[in-house]
């Protein structure tokens, strides 16, 4: 039985002995993910939504969770936020000016930017610069999301904690694209001809982003040295049009053996949607997850990472540096 | 932050700018888990085994991983360890003198002590005292293991990070006891009559330990208030003798609804050994793991937690406070 009078919030050093004021959150980017993040933040007892910002003129004044969307971070900075959740760009160079604007206002940054999940892979200089700026601002910056950020990187890495030795890691994320919103379907080429699909690939900014980041994340965390290769192929239906995509990233070690294999499968009518992790080592582990809807999970982990980031040291962080991010029970009070 | 002069890598990009010296590890307790931990530590490039201690006179001088077992921590303290991995007691009061001896020598402590996984539940005063002593020594102390410590607490909590709202959490750990070593089978009553089984339960120190700690861990992490109830029943075969046990812990909320249910099933011939987590909420998540052998996983996470603890602040910690513990690829070099 619990000790009489035990208050759940008081759990050693993890949560301050005194109830703290709610963390004040500014959401930057009022697209589908940002708007959902704002709603979730507003519903949490331990967080307080103090502003929503979007550069799109069409969104100015729009009511989200009781607040009007503003055009400029300077507007809401008056509200003295603690943390910005930035849901704008997939590429780090596009995100960086917003991160810097937040840091200059003393805001910690959680972002769903795919490249920020492991920024050291594609943008080492920019990552080092942002790290230095975050440290000098005394703020933390972290990229998260369900993929990249959780299912194909942080979760397999966490599972590896119960292995005495890793020989190989394989992760499959398989989705029925028909259950996802239209922008997702467009991003993976649903309805295109194969030629149009390949044209879009060549033009860039197409297909699922972040598989390379996930591969680099796992390799760095687990001490694997090697090189990353990526491939993709369209999944074509009987009528010859594209139903979706299969993408793969591999980390090949010094002697040419593929040690990490990440496969992303997303097409209309996928027969077996699931997330599956196999760690071949001591012991051999197999983990299967069902039910992870990408949009819900991404907005959730962005909100849940706010608290975890607040407990990490300043600087550019990854999900490897944070204490465990945690969901909240319905009706959970402030700690 | 860690004390000055500590050899742990500083957080940050996760890849330290320069390779650090291996962390020096003392293992306390040369039983099956402790001995296996010593072997694993000796095999890691980023760790160095500097001593093995056991109070049992029969074990003195025994060679484990190239070192002779010593009788007293004072002997090996000369070797200037950084961290002690303590695999001795299940109950915190029995463990505490060893933790204090380690702290007085400036050693961080990782322990497989079941009650240390969530010490605030059964021993709040002792936990507070150890926390204060660890802080003043500038050292971290953490309890870990596969169960409690991972499968039925830290893993469901980590999975909850991708939920926007939790309504209920259910975890089942089902094992075929025939695959576990004899001391485990004895601990769950294999071969006893029902009367002898209940006699052993009444005498205490019997059955799986830590289910209450896991329940308290999840509740505290996710903001659920309620009370914990535990129950058990022997699994009896056709001949009337005990094949194992089913144990359950529940957290019941203010209005009497069971919100967290943890069920531990371990008997000879269990038809479906698995670990299964269901989080009912937004979204509904189902995670299944197969292949987690308790002894291997416990020794592995104890070793892997060494590095994670080194990156946390001093004090009595839980798995909620540490950055992600991570396994290592075979042949991984020092970071």
Domain ranges within chain B, ordered by starting residue:
23-145+296-317, 154-291
Asked if the Cβ–Cβ distance from B323 to A322 is below 8 Å, we say yes
Check B283 against A304: CB less than 8 A apart: no
Partner-chain contact B12 A299, CB within 8 Å = no
A326 with B127: Cβ contact below 8 A: no
A-chain CB neighbours of B116 within 8 Å are none
Put simply, the answer to whether A328 touches B166 (Cβ < 8 Å) is yes
- Asked if the ipTM is above 0.85, the reply is yes
Q: Is B73 exposed, middle or buried (0-12, 13-18, 19+ CB in 10 A)?
A: buried
Within 8 A of B146 by CB-CB distance, chain A residues are: 162
- Return the residue of A nearest to B309 by Cα: A323
B293 contacts in chain A (CB < 8 Å): 283
Alpha helices, DSSP H only, in B204-278?
A: 211-222
Give the gap in angstroms from C-alpha B236 to the nearest C-alpha of chain A. 27
Q: What was the pLDDT predicted at A334?
A: 62
Percent pLDDT > 90 in chain B is 84
Quick one: pLDDT at residue B294?
Answer: 85
pLDDT of residue B304: 97
Give B241→chain A minimum CA distance, Å.
Answer: 30
Q: Which residues of B touch A324 (CB under 8 A)?
A: 154, 157-158, 161, 221, 319-320, 322, 324
Cβ-based contacts of B278 with chain A (< 8 Å) = none
Q: Which tokens sit at A173?
A: 């994320």
- What CA–CA distance (Å, rounded) separates B303 from A57? 54
Starting at the edge strand found earlier in the chain, the sheet holding B165-176 runs A226-236, A242-253, A258-267, A165-176, A274-282, A285-290, B285-290, B274-282, B165-176, B258-267, B242-252, B227-236
Q: Which CATH architecture has domain B154-291?
A: 2-Layer Sandwich (3.30)
Q: Which of A3, A162, A296 sits opposite B146 (nearest CB)?
A: A162
**Would the pLDDT of B308 be above 80?**
yes
**Token reading at A329:** 């029970």
pLDDT at residue A74, rounded to an integer: 86
Distance CA B219, CA B213 (A): 10
Q: Do A335 and B155 touch (CB under 8 A)?
A: no
B167–A161 C-beta distance less than 8 A: no
> What residues in B contact A291, CB-CB < 8 Å?
283-286
Interchain contact, B283 vs A296, CB within 8 Å: yes
Is B8's pLDDT higher than 70?
A: no
B335/A223 Cβ within 8 A: yes
pLDDT at B48: 95
State residue B75's pLDDT score. Answer: 83
Is the Cβ pair B131, A286 closer than 8 Å?
no
Q: Is B250 helix (H, G, I), strand (E, B) or coil?
A: strand
**More confident: A34 or B80:** A34
Contact A8 B223 (CB under 8 A): yes
CA dihedral angle for residue B215, residue B218, residue B224, residue B227, rounded to 10 degrees: 10
The closest CB to that of A335, out of B219, B223, B290, belongs to: B223
Q: What pLDDT digit, counting tens, does each position of B151-185 carry?
A: 999 999 999 999 999 999 999 999 999 998 898 99
Closest residue on chain B to A1 (Cα): B228
Cβ neighbours of A156 in B, within 8 Å: none
pLDDT (tens digit, 9 = 90+) per residue, B45-64? 999 999 999 999 999 999 99
Q: Which two tokens stand for residue A35?
A: 């708007």
For residue A288, the surrounding DSSP H or E stretch is strand A285-290
- Could you report the per-residue pLDDT of B91-133, keeping only the tens digit for each? 999 999 999 999 999 999 999 999 999 999 899 999 999 999 9
pLDDT surpassing 60 at residue B14: no
Suggest the residue from B164, B180, B225, B331 to mutate for an interface test with chain A (most A CBs closer than 10 A).
Answer: B164
**How many angstroms separate the CA atoms of B42 and B64, rounded?**
10
Residues of chain B found within 8 Å of residue A335, distances taken between Cβ atoms: 223
Name every residue whose Cβ is closer than 8 Å to that of residue A165 and which is 6 or more positions away in sequence: A281, A282, B43, B327, B328, B329, B330
Confidence of residue B334 (pLDDT cuts 50, 70, 90): low
Element (H, E) at A328: none
User: A299: nearest CA in chain B?
Assistant: B164
The beta-carbon neighbor of A290 closest among B222, B223, B286 is B286
At B331, the pLDDT band (50, 70, 90 cuts) reads confident
Within 8 A of A220 by CB-CB distance, chain B residues are 14-15
Q: What is the pLDDT of residue A3?
A: 30
Residues of chain A in contact with residue B322, where contact means CB-CB under 8 angstroms, are 323-324
Inform me whether the pLDDT recorded for B19 exceeds 50. yes
Helices (H), B153-237: 154-159, 182-187, 194-203, 211-222
Judged by phi (left if over 0) then psi (alpha if -120 to 50, else beta), residue A122 lies in alpha
- Written as tens digits, the pLDDT of chain A (335 aa) is 233 222 222 223 333 334 578 999 999 999 999 999 999 999 999 999 999 999 999 999 999 999 999 999 888 766 789 999 999 999 999 999 999 999 999 999 999 999 999 999 899 999 999 999 999 999 999 999 999 999 999 999 999 999 999 999 999 999 999 998 898 999 999 999 999 999 999 998 899 999 999 999 999 999 999 999 999 999 999 999 999 999 999 999 989 999 999 999 999 999 999 999 999 999 999 999 998 988 899 999 999 999 999 989 999 999 999 999 999 998 887 65
> What is the dihedral angle through the alpha carbons of A126, A129, A134, A140, rounded to the nearest 10 degrees?
40
Q: Which of A3, A147, A154, A162 has the most B C-beta neighbours within 10 Å, making it the best mutation to test the interface with B?
A: A162
Domain range B23-145+296-317, CATH class: alpha beta
Closest residue of A to B126, CA-based? A12
Residues of chain A contacting B323 with CB distance shorter than 8 Å = 312, 320-323
**What's the rounded Cα separation, in Å, for the pair B192 and B186?**
9
Distance CA A176, CA A274 (A): 9
> Percent of chain B, pLDDT > 70?
93
A297–B124: do the CB atoms touch at under 8 Å?
no
Length of chain B: 335
| Confidence (pTM) | 0.93
Closest CA–CA distance from residue A314 to any residue of chain B (Å): 9
User: How many CB pairs below 8 A link A and B?
Assistant: 268
């Amino acid at each position: 039985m619990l000790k009489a009078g035990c208050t759940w919030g008081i759990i050693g050093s993890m949560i301050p002995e005194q109830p703290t004021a709610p963390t004040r959150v500014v959401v930057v980017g009022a697209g589908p993910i940002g708007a959902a993040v704002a709603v979730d933040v507003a519903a949490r007892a331990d967080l307080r939504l103090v502003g929503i910002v979007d550069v799109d003129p069409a969104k100015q004044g729009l009511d989200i969770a009781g607040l009007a969307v503003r055009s400029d971070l300077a507007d809401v900075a008056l509200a003295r936020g603690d943390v910005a959740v930035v849901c704008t760009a997939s590429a780090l160079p596009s995100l960086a000016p917003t991160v810097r604007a937040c840091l200059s206002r003393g805001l910690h940054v959680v972002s769903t930017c795919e490249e920020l999940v492991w920024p050291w892979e594609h943008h080492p200089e920019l990552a080092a610069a942002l790290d230095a700026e975050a440290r000098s601002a005394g703020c933390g910056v972290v990229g998260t999301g369900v993929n990249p950020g959780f299912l194909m990187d942080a979760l397999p890495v966490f599972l590896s904690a119960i292995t005495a030795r890793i020989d190989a890691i394989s992760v499959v994320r398989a989705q029925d694209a028909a259950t996802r919103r239209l922008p997702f379907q467009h991003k993976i080429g649903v309805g295109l001809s194969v030629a149009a699909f390949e044209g879009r690939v060549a033009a860039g900014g197409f297909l699922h982003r972040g598989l390379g980041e996930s591969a680099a994340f796992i390799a760095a965390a687990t001490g694997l040295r090697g090189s990353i290769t990526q491939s993709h192929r369209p999944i074509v239906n009987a009528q010859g049009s594209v139903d979706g995509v299969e993408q793969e990233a591999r980390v090949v070690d010094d002697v040419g053996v593929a040690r990490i294999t990440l496969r992303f499968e997303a097409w209309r009518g996928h027969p077996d949607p699931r997330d599956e992790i196999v760690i071949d080592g001591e012991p051999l582990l197999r983990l299967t997850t069902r039910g992870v809807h990408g949009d819900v999970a991404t907005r959730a982990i962005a909100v849940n990472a706010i608290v975890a980031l607040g407990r990490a040291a300043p600087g550019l962080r990854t999900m490897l540096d944070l204490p465990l991010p945690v969901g909240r029970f319905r009706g959970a009070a402030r700690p």
